[in-house]
Amino acid sequence: MIQYIIEDLDYKTDAKKFDLTIERINQTGFLKYILFLYLLIGNIIKKSSLLYKIYQKTILYKFLAGIIILVFESNTEFDKLIENNKSPEILDSKIYDTIVVGSGPGGSIAALRLTQKNEDVLMIESGKAYDPGTIEHHSLAQTNLQFYKQGMNFCYGNVPMLFAEGSTYGGGSEVNSGLYFKLTEPYKSVFLQKANITPNEWDEVEKKVEDLISVQQAPLGSFENLKSALVEGSNNLGLICEEIPRWRQYEPIVEHKSMQVSYLKQAEDRGLTVLTNTEVIKIDLDKNLINIFAKKGGKTINLRSKKIVLSAGTVGTPKILKNSGLINSKIKFNFHPMTRCVVDYGEEVNDGDLFPPFQSWTRDYKFKFGYSVSTYPYVKATLASLGEFANVSKPSHLVSYFSSTVLDSSNGRLMSFNGNLIPFIYLSKNDRKKIKEGFEILKKLLSSTAVTNVWPKTGISPMTTVHVFGSLPIGNNSDIGLNGELLKDSRVKICDASILPTAPWGNPQAVMMVLNEILLDRWILSFKIE
């Protein structure tokens, strides 16, 4: 029934791409039922030209068109990529010192620090493992193989938003752009106060993290061919503009310093055992041991350890705790609402990586602007979300930009339903006013430059968020201690973005890593691990 939208977009029938499109729609959870009903209605009213023109202007049509464009414009030959299967022999009788759930930056930190203490550590990851560099960054293959629900993850509510979570060995570090957003003022002071961390302690650990993942700026000379309406427009409006460093090694070869090639490599060298394709369902706390119940290949397995580190993410970690009957408090979370623009430069500027990246700020630090994912399939899909379906320019002429806003109070709530936690958000009238203000500044700074076009022409783009965090904030949750430990039983440690006490700017991974390095050290000391 989606065939008529495919035809609207002038794509030829392709069975594989059709199936991939349906597969992505099926990943949208509850929304898929609304989408399929919507498709049915469109098929019925297609004979009425007036009704169908109205239908094509709706947000659901634009959303579905974006999915189709992403699939049909992308390389779909990724089914032969080789999984690096990590399935060791797990003995029911074995008792580990610590089991770490999740292999993203938080879990990777825990794995390395505990193996450095000569602990016998098992890491459990729900996703698959692929060798670094074998999957093209910002590709359909990556979203299909390395993102939770293929990137079709939603916060529901009065303004539904997409958000992305890595689901692969290495977690979000494998799928992000390696952008390193430091904790900065005016948010740093409040953050450190709530986390009970001194500025000197933070700066010292931050430097250690940066060295381990090779945080670097682009080499001299990389700016020579840079064409950026963001940089020029920010200067025109008097905004603060700076390069964003990356987790990236530039010499002798360019290499993204994900967890697999930094923290996890060192932990594996020290004896870390890794179990992929395994989802932890719940845990049971006995007096002497922790029982971990997980699903692997349709079977339930029972693993045991003396301690456990939960690094399953902002939604996944509280889900495990909730299903285990270990938390009672209402689960809220923070998020960064984002809006997007697409710019046509009228000349060759986009190689898909926009190297090096920049960000800009309003001087009151209310709004932040930067590049978005700008490989052509994603840019064209973004155009569809803005109501622009024509081939308006050459792929290499188009770049996507975003406006991000930190709200005074992010009203996100995780609601329990049938063993799952469903994210809901509420944006107040003032929230939407603030977001619109940031979007208008973005359009103004882009339009102040000599670009050919800026979209959308009118209105505001649909809102998205790629960052959710703070569902179990330290210092503001009755179930969680200041070290990120479960107050009912300190053998349970949370080590991911869920414990962020306040909202930082940009991708929270860097801030989360520094925070968890500090809190993990404190937790280890509390157990007197030598």
Q: Is pLDDT at 399 greater than 60 in this prediction?
A: yes
95-134+178-212+257-330+471-526: CATH topology is FAD/NAD(P)-binding domain (3.50.50)
Give whole-number Cα distances, 457 to 104, 177, 279, in Å: 39, 28, 45
pTM score: 0.93
Quick one: pLDDT band at residue 174, thresholds 50, 70, 90?
Answer: very high
Three-class HEC string of 87-118: CCCCCCCCEEEEEEECCCHHHHHHHHHHHCCC
Q: Is pLDDT at 417 greater than 60 in this prediction?
A: yes
Average predicted confidence (pLDDT) for the chain: 90
The CATH class that applies to domain 214-254+337-464 reads: alpha beta
Locate the domains of the chain by residue range: 1-72, 95-134+178-212+257-330+471-526, 214-254+337-464
Q: What percent of the chain has pLDDT over 90?
A: 60
Instruction: Express each pLDDT in 77-113 by its tens digit.
Output: 988 888 888 877 776 779 999 999 999 999 999 999 9
Between 352 and 193, residue with greater pLDDT: 193
Instruction: Express each pLDDT in 327-384 by its tens digit.
Output: 987 899 988 889 999 999 888 877 666 567 889 999 988 899 998 877 889 989 999 9
> What pLDDT score was predicted for residue 75?
92
Between 225 and 82, residue with greater pLDDT: 82
Quick one: pLDDT band at residue 501, thresholds 50, 70, 90?
Answer: very high
Q: Is pLDDT at 9 greater than 60 in this prediction?
A: yes
Cα separation, 227 vs 230, in Å, equals 9
Mean local confidence (pLDDT), 240-245:
90
Instruction: Express each pLDDT in 45-54 by its tens digit.
Output: 988 989 999 9
The number of CA neighbours under 13 Å toward the Cβ of 55 is 20
Mean local confidence (pLDDT), 226-246:
89
Q: Is pLDDT at 389 greater than 90 in this prediction?
A: no
Helix (H, G, I), strand (E, B) or coil at 327: coil
Mean local confidence (pLDDT), 72-81:
90
Q: Is pLDDT at 394 greater than 90 in this prediction?
A: no
Cα separation, 375 vs 75, in Å, equals 12
Identical topology for domains 95-134+178-212+257-330+471-526 and 214-254+337-464: no
> What pLDDT score was predicted for residue 530?
56
> What pLDDT score was predicted for residue 462?
84
